[in-house]
Amino acid sequence: MFSRKNLQLVTCCLLSVAVTLGAVTWKVQEITGDAAGTLRFLRTMSIVKNNFDGKVDNSILFDGAIDGMVRSLGDPYSAYLDKENFAKLSEMTEGSFGGIGIVFGKRGDDYVVISALPDNPGAIAGIKSGDIILAVDGVETRSMNMTEVANKIRGKQGTEVVLQLQTNDGSKKDVKVVRRDIKTPSVGGQMLPDSKIGYIRITVFNEETGADFKKTYEQLQAEGMQATILDLRGNPGGILDGGVAVARMLVPKGPIVSLVYRNGDKYVENSSLEQVKYPLAVLVDHGTASAAEIVAGAVKDTGAGRLFGVKTFGKGSVQGVYRIDNDTAVKITTARYYTPSGVSIHNVGIEPDVNVELPEGATTDVQLQSAEEYLQQKLRQE
């Protein structure tokens, strides 16, 4: 790794070479591989610095070069994180960030809402899982990458943002949302009325999820829980370690998830749980993604419980964040993950064991009802 001093030295050397190259002629076609690319890059910097009719800021040039490098990968989940974006990512993983409280992903050319977090501005304004974000404040999203879309939606608390959406029925609408600080309490739970079934909802996986889930789980045990409903509907995922920590309390000894890197290296997260303690039902929907799918996939493949709802979103790639210096980083897709049975769900999703649609405007949560009936039957059999 480079220290800040070393980074400055390397930068100065590159600039020196770039200026020198302005007086050098060569035939690029005679140079192959990485050397040709490096010379093209330095030649371009020399041309810009020596010929642009305006002020040239070296730091902006380097930011642009790094951003373009990562964009060229063609992966919607990889991005250059400048100082502002890196700070925002840190806020999100710590459980508090500014915006309207929605999480979105990319399907084809479309930015699709994975989840509108409950009790946050987006959900209150009527934004729903499956909505396609066509424009933000009049700017079409197809002209932006994911980071740019997210940054345009976020803004100062109390200000307004307008999203043009295409809903599931194909109609278009504009939704005005007032931004505020977004709080994402990760885990909540209670005993269902007149039953021995504990209900736990995880809205997102952050740094506190594992500890919060353990605390909630043990509290419900103390209240007499003998079966568990885990609600992962609308959960867009988050930190991989949070999903693994939850799965370790629910699935039996053996693999939870396998990460396979481009060079074929494989890393497996395992559970050491000797025995599944309670009958388990997991609620999933189209907004269940990423780390939430890791938990759902582990439960389904190991037989630790049954999945109720509709097919999940299908984000089966893993991103790593690599610091460039103290203030910037790159977020890069580093691996695909596979469920215990060896299945990649990327762009495919997980089919529930029991398919239960939740009708638009339903007054009864039929998915929850179906899971509860299943667990009541399991308890009667024991």
Annotation says 315 is catalytic: yes
Instruction: Copy the structure tokens of residue 53.
Output: 């009719």
CA distances from 366 to 97, 241, 361, 363 (A): 32, 31, 12, 9
Q: Do the Cβ atoms of 279 and 307 come closer than 8 Å? A: no
Give the Cα separation of 117 and 103 in Å (integer).
8
Helix axis angle for 240-247 and 291-302, nearest 10°, is 30
The closest alpha carbon to 206, from 175, 185, 233, belongs to 185
Annotate 207-261 with DSSP letters as a single string.
TTHHHHHHHHHHHHHHTT--EEEEE-TT---B-HHHHHHHHTTTS-SEEEEEEEE
Catalytic residue (one of 128, 300, 315, 331):
315
Instruction: Copy the structure tokens of residue 199.
Output: 């209900």
**Residue 162 phi, psi dihedral angles, 5° rounding:** -115, 125
The closest alpha carbon to 304, from 266, 267, 341, belongs to 341
Q: Do the Cβ atoms of 20 and 36 come closer than 8 Å? A: no
The residues that bridge with 257 in the sheet, in sequence order, are: 269
DSSP state of 83: H
Instruction: Copy the structure tokens of residue 235.
Output: 């959960």
Catalytic residue (one of 258, 271, 290, 370):
290
Handedness of CA 12, 16, 17, 19 (dihedral sign): positive
**Residue 284 phi, psi dihedral angles, 5° rounding:** -135, 160
CA atoms lying within 13 Å on the CB side of residue 367: 25
Q: Exposure of 228 by Cβ count < 10 A (0-12 exposed, 13-18 middle, 19+ buried)?
A: buried
Catalytic residue (one of 301, 317, 331, 370):
301
The residues annotated with a catalytic role in the active site are 290, 301, 315
